[in-house]
């Protein structure tokens, strides 16, 4: 997990990997997160509309996750997706992508992001979003 966290390069990778590893969020939860899910200090709100089994929960923010959450709070509006869809700004040339902040990332895009970061971390077993999530402690 430490190697995985150490090799993130972009804001997009940092958000996906840190929220998956440090908060134990699943693929659909990661892709459904919006700015509104970070409004309560010290917690990430996993609302019923994105939670597995429609079970709402509050996930405590660890020290490792805190800088990522702070950046999310500073840069996103409440209805912006934390992991937005991306499109080419210059179709046909395909040199620059832009975020579609009001649209969620696709499952395939998240899967490819996690796989790429796992390869960069030299993790032998192929990674996918469900495999990189750590279970959150229960109280």
Per residue in 46-102, pLDDT tens? 999 999 999 999 999 999 999 999 999 999 999 999 999 998 888 888 788 889 999
Which H or E run contains 66? helix 66-75
Q: How far is CA 123 from CA 12, 16, 19, 38, 77, in A?
A: 20, 17, 19, 30, 35
Number of CB atoms found within 10 A of residue 26's CB: 16
As assigned by CATH, the class of the 2-87+95-132 domain is mainly alpha
The CA distance from 95 to 76, in Å, is 25
């Amino acid at each position: 997990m430490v190697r995985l966290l150490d090799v993130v390069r972009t804001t997009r990778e940092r958000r996906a990997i840190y929220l998956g590893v440090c908060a134990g969020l699943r693929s659909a939860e990661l892709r459904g997160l919006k700015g509104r899910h970070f409004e309560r200090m010290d917690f990430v709100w996993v609302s019923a509309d994105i939670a597995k089994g429609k079970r709402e929960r509050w996930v405590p923010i660890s020290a490792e996750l805190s800088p990522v959450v702070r950046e999310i709070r500073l840069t996103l509006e409440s209805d912006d997706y934390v992991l937005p869809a991306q499109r080419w700004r210059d179709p046909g040339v395909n040199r620059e992508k832009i975020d579609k902040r009001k649209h969620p990332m696709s499952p395939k895009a998240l899967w490819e992001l996690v796989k790429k970061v796992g390869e960069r971390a030299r993790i032998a077993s192929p990674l996918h979003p469900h495999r990189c999530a750590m279970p959150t402690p229960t109280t």
